């Protein structure tokens, strides 16, 4: 049986959720699973992700507008970079994943998938992950 990238992404998200709540095991693995799963699933599949996309886009525009009015520049991209720095710091082999690590991965992946980061280099990441999984799967 072969999975499409979207189905494989949903499988990774469900597996990470099972590892988070009932089992509470392997914090670094479940963080990588949920990050990759959200990137694979994308924004077009399912009602929940569609609503998340709309909500994230609205929040990103609202937050960006408020910060732009207050400071003269939007810092949505800076917030995502700071979240990614904390995420990669927690995933480093010499450090432990904390409770925040999972949720940083979820927030970062949603921001990258919905292209609300303002960083052009990150906007193509979901497509690159989907292409890699498709090529590796045969």
* pLDDT tens digit sequence for 29-82: 999 999 999 888 876 666 766 777 777 777 777 777 777 777 666 667 778 888
- pTM of the prediction? 0.82
State residue 31's pLDDT score: 94
Q: Please report which confidence band the pLDDT of residue 138 belongs to, taking 50, 70 and 90 as the band edges.
A: low
d(CA 66, CA 93): 38
* pLDDT tens digit sequence for 2-43: 888 888 888 999 999 998 888 888 999 999 999 999 888 876
Q: Which two tokens stand for residue 21?
A: 């709540």
Which residue carries 């700071």 as its tokens?
82
Q: Which two tokens stand for residue 123?
A: 């906007």
CA dihedral 25, 15, 80, 40 (to 10 degrees): 150
State residue 107's pLDDT score: 87
> What is the per-residue burial (b if ≥16 Cβ within 10 Å, else e) of 6-30?
bebbbebbeebeebbeeeeeebbeb
73 sits in the region (left: phi over 0; alpha: psi -120 to 50; else beta) called beta
d(CA 15, CA 63): 32
Q: Measuring CA to CA, how many Å separate 121 from each of 12, 47, 86, 126?
A: 24, 27, 19, 11
């Amino acid at each position: 049986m072969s999975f499409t990238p979207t189905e494989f992404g949903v499988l990774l998200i469900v597996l990470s959720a099972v590892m988070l709540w009932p089992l509470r095991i392997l914090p670094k693995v479940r963080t990588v699973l949920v990050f990759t799963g959200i990137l694979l699933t994308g924004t077009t599949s399912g009602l929940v992700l569609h609503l998340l996309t709309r909500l994230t886009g609205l929040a990103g525009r609202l937050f960006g507008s408020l910060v732009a009015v207050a400071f003269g520049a939007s810092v949505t991209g800076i917030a995502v970079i700071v979240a990614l720095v904390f995420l990669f710091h927690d995933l480093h082999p010499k450090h432990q994943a904390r409770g925040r690590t999972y949720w940083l991965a979820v927030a970062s992946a949603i921001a990258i998938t919905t292209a609300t980061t303002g960083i052009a280099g990150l906007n193509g990441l979901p497509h690159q992950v989907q292409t890699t999984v498709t090529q590796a799967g045969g």
